[in-house]
Structure 1
Amino acid sequence: MSDERRGGDSPTWGRVGPEDPTADPATHPALRVPDAVSEQPTVAVPTGEAPDGPEGDDSTTVRRAIPATRTGGLWSALILSAIVLIFLLVFILQNTTPVEITFLWLTGSLPTGVALLFAAIAGVLLVAIPGTGRILQLRREARRH
């Protein structure tokens, strides 16, 4: 496909990286690696060569950054959620003294921990419902443009 049909300055389909593969990051700011990348955890990858010395030589391994993945983030979120759930369960089991609850014309008795749990759920819903509405509104607006 010619450049005229693509609109001139748009890159070739499937092209990855700079136009000049020998471009120097020192002279092209877009090619510089952010500092945060160097702080990622690394893993030693053997190069397949045998070490020279009896105690082993670190020059035979290459350090590569381990990329962050969605699965890793999900796993972290699940562990954090399980810890919070355990603390919530301990809180509810330790606060079993009944308390009288009155709302409008309704009156009832609930354990203190359960009553506070219902209050927390109501607070989350008061924040989540308008927030969800705003997210949907912004998505609709983004699709239009």
Structure 2
Amino acid sequence: MSEHASGPPPDDPLRGSRTSAVWTGVVGLGLLLVLLIIFIAQNTQEAEVNFLGWSGTAPQSVALLIATAAGLALAVIAASLRILQLRRRVRRTR
């Protein structure tokens, strides 16, 4: 039988670390930023925007990015409320 059943030994210098996770995140965000720049560069046409009585024009890419950010914010709020609800339920049952 092997001494180590699964995974690398704790003193393995090539094991994953927080720094490697951060580096992976930075690379991923860098790629996302490049894609975002391409999206903005290709969608510079003006678009008419109307919202709750406000109206104006904005570049199409900016309008889409703002709508995406607003949708993401609503999803985060809804998910956070659900997580809080589940945590309260778990505390009550303990």
* Length-normalised TM-score, structure 1: 0.51
Unaligned runs of 5+ in 2: none
> Structure 1, residues 68-121: CA drift from partner, whole Å, max 9, x if none?
222211210111011101211221122111010112322110001101101110
Q: How many residues align?
A: 90
1:33 corresponds in structure 2 to 5
The structure, 1 or 2, with the larger RCO (C-alpha pairs under 8 Å, 6+ apart) is 2
SS of alignment partner, residue 101 of structure 1: strand
Match of 2:71 among 123, 135, 138: 123
Q: 1:132 to 1:65 in 2, by over 3 A?
A: same
Match of 1:98 among 46, 62, 77: 46
> Structure 1, residues 3-61: CA drift from partner, whole Å, max 9, x if none?
xxxxxxxxxxxxxxxxxxxxx77xxxxx9724xx3xx7xxxxxxxxxxxxxxxxxxxxx
The Cα shift of 1:134 comes to 2.3
Unaligned runs of 5+ in 1: 1-23, 26-30, 41-63
Alpha-carbon RMSD: 2.6
State the structure with more CA Rg: 1
> Sequence identity of aligned pairs in percent?
37
SS of alignment partner, residue 33 of structure 1: coil
Structure number with higher helix proportion: 2
Match of 1:137 among 82, 85, 92: 85
SS of alignment partner, residue 15 of structure 2: coil
Determine the C-alpha separation between the residues in 2 that align with 1:120 and 1:113: 10
* Length-normalised TM-score, structure 2: 0.74
What letter is aligned with 1:33? Answer: A
